[in-house]
Amino acid sequence: MTQHLTESDVRGIAEYVRIGMTEDEVAQMTVDLNAIIDSLAPITEYDLEGVEPTFHPIGALTNVMCEDLERGSFTQEVALLNAPKQQDGCFLIPSVLGDGGDR
Amino acid sequence: MAAVGKPFGAMSIAEIQAGLAAKEFTAAEVASATISRIERDDAQMHAFLELTADMAADAAAKVDAAIAAGTFAEAGPLAGVPVGFKDNMNLLDTHTTCSSNMLANYVSPYTATCVEYALHAGALPMGKLNMDEFAFGSSTETSAFGPTLNPWDFQRVPGGSSGGSAAAVAAGLVPVALGSDTGGSIRQPASFCGIVGVKPTYGVVSRYGVVAFGSSLDQVGPFARSVEDAALALNAISGFDERDCTSQRADVDFTANLAEGVQGMRIGVVPAFMEADGLTEEVRARVAEAAQKLEGLGATLVDIELPNAKAAMSAYYVLGPCEAFSNLARFDSVRYGYCDPGHADLGAQYEASRAKGFGPEARRRIMLGSYLLSAGVYDTYYYPAQQVRTLITQDYDRAFQQVDCILTPVSPRTAFKFGEIGDPTQMYLSDMFTISINIAGNGGMSVPVGLGADTQLPVGVQLISPAFKDVNMFRAAAALESVYGPAPVAPQFAKED
């Protein structure tokens, strides 16, 4: 099997996608991802010279404009209904500007 | 309860509506008896995650009022019919979990268009159905709330990702359920459970309110035990929706040509698929037999080639994870979804919440998608995968110049046992015959054609239609059904009350 990714690469990706991982999980993920990437090899072996990509099954997507009408939307209460933490009608997160403030 | 032996969930749409019209039973009775039956008979199988008895009763009251007022004919094509919804479909005030700990406590603040259209058509909402977590899987084993069992054999998986939807219909708990299909997630479980499952052409059914996995691949469709019921359900849920920018204006009656037969139809068969590595002999034999039956009914079989289909698998496992990585970035532990408690730092809260909220397969696909889209790697995998998509689409275009629809296997084998496939790359092979259709965007459906000779488990054949000519596959499916009969309720659930 080709080593496409090292454990260090996997740690970097985990940080980027904001998924915390233990060292054991990093090791297993490295094995899994290398195996999956190996299985993708056919895509790299195709002669695709001059072939245009298709990014979407509906090729000719055009921008659609709607009538400029007032419509209902979520109330603040509904928008906050699933928020794990809220305060004063806002989503509440841990302080991002150093220590202090309400938690 | 009404004086009928057959549970309502085991009836066809026509049987339920005839009984309602003749006042043999009321919609309220249909709703309450179906909820009771699910409570009793689904306890072990675990197709349903949540039941919506109150909503079903409310919907039934409207149908009964229409019957009393003499306006039943206008009550909608699904009037009085119990329907279940895959748990990635928002229904106001229900949990919509995607079978993930990430959304275990999420309560929908709105209703998906496909669900809304079903309810508008008079459906009685029975509840939400189990699935692979975020639809990542082919067995329902990745559900954070435990797997669904195959109603034909509890030792086996029902397929996935829409395994709960397929199992509920195959067990006769509901006549119709909705699922979603990104690479085979309607067709493969339909095949494993021996029922009809339809992935319409991309754009036929609105995706608004259905939790996104691969936005250029996802499509909603119905499960049913007959071709006609599947067509009626698709009639109800399809149609333009301004809230989905990929929704198409295609005013089609999917029941229009069910009775036409296949005389004069040209049906493509792909010899390379029938000789594919991994295709079991019992499935191959059933698919070949189905082709012969169609020929016997007057269709012309034409050998066709889909030369780039062999690249579809790798293209899919590039495109799917890339789109999933992007779609699953929204789960931030702040606006909704699981939030790991006790973190003083936002970054630490993100990392712990996403680590604990997502299961192993979701984490793998997010990581893989991120890698494949990274600078330098993008040009090796992602861009070529989109070029391969062009080739696959051209293959179908060429094939459909010769034929009206194509017949292939759905899955290379019948339902496998729990834990039998542990390696993710092996699991991905479950979708080898279905994924190229999502990549090209045209329609595909699974139709049951009896049991495999070795395993005595259901086998499905796949009928594939050109984009927006889904009626072609329905026509051939109805012809197959005239030979094999509608799908039976799975034997251990077929006992009459």
Q: Answer yes or no: is A27 within a domain.
A: yes
DSSP assignment, residue B251?
A: -
d(C-alpha B205, C-alpha B201), whole Å? 8
Name the band, by pLDDT with cuts 50, 70 and 90, for residue A60: low
d(C-alpha B454, C-alpha B446), whole Å? 20
CB proximity B380 to A under 8 Å: yes
Q: Which of B185, B206, B226, B411 is catalytic?
A: B185
- Across B25-111, the runs of DSSP E, i.e. the strands, are 48-51, 82-86
Number of structural domains chain A divides into:
1
Name the band, by pLDDT with cuts 50, 70 and 90, for residue A98: low
Q: Which residues contact B410 (CB under 8 A, 6 or more apart)?
A: B184, B187, B188, B190, B191, B433, B434, B446, B460, B461, B462
- Across B167-284, the runs of DSSP E, i.e. the strands, are 176-181, 196-199, 219-224, 266-269
- Which pLDDT tens digit goes with each residue over B451-479? 999 999 999 999 999 999 999 999 999 99
Q: What is the mean pLDDT of residues B138-150?
A: 97
Residue B128: phi and psi, rounded to 5, are -110, 140
d(C-alpha B212, C-alpha B214), whole Å? 6
- b/e map of A34-69 (b: 16 or more CB within 10 Å)? bebbebbeebeebebeebeebebbbeeeeeeeeeee
Name the band, by pLDDT with cuts 50, 70 and 90, for residue B496: low
Domain of residue A29 covers 7-44
- Which pLDDT tens digit goes with each residue over B261-303? 999 999 999 999 999 988 999 999 999 999 999 999 999 999 9
Given a cut of 80, is residue A81 above it in pLDDT? yes
> Residue B423: how many CB atoms within 10 A of its CB?
11
Helix locations, B121-162, DSSP H: none
Helix locations, B328-420, DSSP H: 346-357, 360-372, 382-402
Q: Which two tokens stand for residue A91?
A: 């989503």
Q: What is the mean pLDDT of residues B229-247?
A: 95
Domain extents in chain B: 17-488
Name the band, by pLDDT with cuts 50, 70 and 90, for residue B425: confident
* Lowest-confidence pick of A92-96, B217-221, B296-300, B445-449: A92-96
Q: Answer yes or no: is A81 within a domain.
A: no
- Which pLDDT tens digit goes with each residue over B321-370? 999 999 999 999 999 999 999 999 999 999 999 999 999 999 999 999 99
Pick the residue of A29, A34, A43 with the most B CBs within 10 A to test the interface with B by mutation: A43
Q: Which residues contact B367 (CB under 8 A, 6 or more apart)?
A: A10, A13, A14, A17, A19, A29, A33, B325
Q: What is the pLDDT of residue B324?
A: 97
Nearest chain A residue (CA) to B366: A17
Secondary structure (3-state) at B2: coil
Q: H/E/C letters for each residue in A63-98?
A: CCCCCCCCCCCCCHHHHCCCCCCEECCEECCCCCCC
Helix locations, B403-434, DSSP H: 424-428
- Helix and strand counts by DSSP (H, E) for chain A: 3, 2
Nearest chain B residue (CA) to A101: B344
Proportion of chain B in helix, strand, coil states, percent, rounded to 5: 40, 15, 45
Q: What is the pLDDT of residue B2?
A: 44
Q: Which of B161, B162, B180, B446 is catalytic?
A: B161
Identify which of A16, A39, A48 has the shortest CB distance to residue B314. Answer: A39
Identify which of A17, A33, A91 has the shortest CB distance to residue B335. Answer: A91
Secondary structure (3-state) at B471: helix
Q: Answer yes or no: is A86 within a domain.
A: no
Q: How far is CA B360 from the centre of its chain?
A: 23
Q: Answer yes or no: is A30 within a domain.
A: yes
Q: Which of B12, B86, B226, B247 is catalytic?
A: B86
Q: What is the mean pLDDT of residues B101-111?
A: 98
Contact A82 B202 (CB under 8 A): no
Query: B331 to chain A, minimum CA–CA distance in Å?
Result: 10
Q: What is the pLDDT of residue B1?
A: 42
d(C-alpha A85, C-alpha B335), whole Å? 8
Q: Which two tokens stand for residue B201?
A: 């052409």
Q: Answer yes or no: is A31 within a domain.
A: yes
Across all residues in chain B, what is the average pLDDT? 96
CB proximity B468 to A under 8 Å: no
What is the value of ipTM here, to two decimals? 0.92
Residues in chain A closer than 8 A to B347 (CB atoms): 18
Percent of chain B clearing pLDDT 90 (strictly above): 93
Look at B60 and B242; give whichever has higher pLDDT: B60
CATH class of B17-488: alpha beta
d(C-alpha B301, C-alpha B107), whole Å? 50
In angstroms, the Cα distances linking A65 to B209, B242, B243, B441 are 21, 10, 12, 25
Count Cβ–Cβ pairs < 8 Å, chain A vs chain B: 163
Q: Answer yes or no: is A23 within a domain.
A: yes
Identify which of A15, A53, A83 has the shortest CB distance to residue B335. Answer: A83
Q: Which residues contact A69 (CB under 8 A, 6 or more apart)?
A: none
Look at B188 and A65; give whichever has higher pLDDT: B188
Q: What is the pLDDT of residue B102?
A: 98
Secondary structure (3-state) at B300: strand
CB proximity B286 to A under 8 Å: no
- Rounded to a whole number of angstroms, the distance between the first and last alpha carbons of chain A is 48
Residues in chain B closer than 8 A to A85 (CB atoms): 334, 339
How many residues can be counted in chain A?
A: 103
Given a cut of 90, is residue A67 above it in pLDDT? no
Contact A43 B311 (CB under 8 A): yes
Q: Report which of B483, B427, B471, B416 is spatially closest to residue B445, judged by C-alpha positions.
A: B471
B185 is catalytic: yes
Identify which of B202, B352, B367 has the shortest CB distance to residue A14. Answer: B367
Q: What is the mean pLDDT of residues B170-186?
A: 98
Q: Which two tokens stand for residue B345?
A: 């730092």
CB proximity A69 to B under 8 Å: no
How many residues can be counted in chain B?
A: 497
DSSP assignment, residue B195?
A: S
Q: What is the pLDDT of residue B66?
A: 98
Secondary structure (3-state) at B128: strand
Q: Which two tokens stand for residue B211?
A: 């939790």
B128 is catalytic: no
Q: What is the mean pLDDT of residues B66-82?
A: 97
Q: What is the pLDDT of residue B428?
A: 77
CB proximity A55 to B under 8 Å: yes
Q: Report which of B419, B433, B484 is spatially closest to residue B463, judged by C-alpha positions.
A: B433
CB proximity B256 to A under 8 Å: no
